[in-house]
Structure 1
Amino acid sequence: MDAILKPFINQQQTGPGERPSKAEAENAVRTLLRWIGENPDREGLIDTPERVAKAYREMFSGYERDPAEELGRTFEEVAGFDDMVVERDIHFHSHCEHHMVPIIGKAHIGYLPDGKVVGLSKLARVVDIFAQRLQTQEAMTAQIAGSIQDTLNPRGVAVMIEAEHMCMAMRGIRKHGATTLTSTFTGAFKDHVEEQMRFMTLLRAGTRG
């Protein structure tokens, strides 16, 4: 799992050398506008390069955040609780690293505490950190599970992601509504199929009614 995580955690830039300036990013947007046949100097597009650069800085802010910091504060006063913790339906927006178009979905996380728990908002923030980077769904699933396992050291982690990829809906095969499911299990979830089944049962229970 470490081999999967090391290229992504604490990654501040996406390539060699210094990060380009804001002006260089805006000029790149102007170039793309010209390439698709638009006029970046017309009224409706004059401020678009600045807006896009600002939006990208927000949408890809995950490169500047460390999931270990979010998971660093834990609580040990849990009244002896040591059973499964599950947080379902953590909605996210990411971007495909192949075409840089949206991935829209939700993540489900479960873990088996080993004497300490983490605030539920922290799990959602970890999802956001990895979602706010260029991604493949498979890598993102493994990264979330790996960061929780490595930082909290629970008895096991389960992560499932279901998402729609706009690279399938907006271009190419153009199959709107098709969803992709991925899952990763560590520790007790990986070693014991009954724990996987309990996790799946809890996810399904929340969809009834």
Structure 2
Amino acid sequence: MRAFLTWILLLIAVPAVAQEPVAPGGYRWLEEGPFAGPLYMVISVERQMVHVYDGDRLVGIASVSTGMKGHRTPTGEFSVLQKREWHRSNIYSNAPMPFMQRLTWDGIALHAGHNPGHPASHGCIRLPYAFARKLFGMTEVGTLVSVTSDRLSPALMVDALVAGDPGSAVVTFAPQAPVVLAQRDEIPAAAPMLEVDPGIFRLRLIRR
């Protein structure tokens, strides 16, 4: 029988400056690096925003433009499959897609483009040009991208067999932050205390 997957939400304290509104087409880098990683992104379709994390630190935020009605951007867990600094769409009239980072082989990608602050693309996630250019230089094939309905905080997906073992545990990025444990069909009555080497967690993030 296939085990259900359990979400453990890692609630990280977000700097006050990151909670200030970002104008359509706007972005903000909270740190300049160098970054130790793992680097990953969380994109909220409802909020039309991306958060870029370096390990436990929120290092960048930006306005995005996701898919409009009839071309909704899919939600889920993705990784960068391909990167091309100068790319043109194979589907939509050879449209330019600078700093393209492919998330699916059927046409969904991150790239620089018109960014009005509301859904306006054919499914891709458009980023402000300067933000897309810098982000392109920071990522690599395999960088994780979580596309959610509303969430901008990071989450780690753990198999229920691990979470159900009283001797197992998973560490959050921020030890002082609460951990919310939720299973697909139910919330366990007693969530295990989690304590795993961060090096193992980093490896899972990179290779998932």
The structure showing larger relative contact order (alpha-carbon pairs under 8 Å, at least 6 residues apart) is: 2
From the two aligned structures, give the one with the greater helix fraction: 1
Q: Please, what TM-score do these two structures have when normalized by structure 2?
A: 0.23
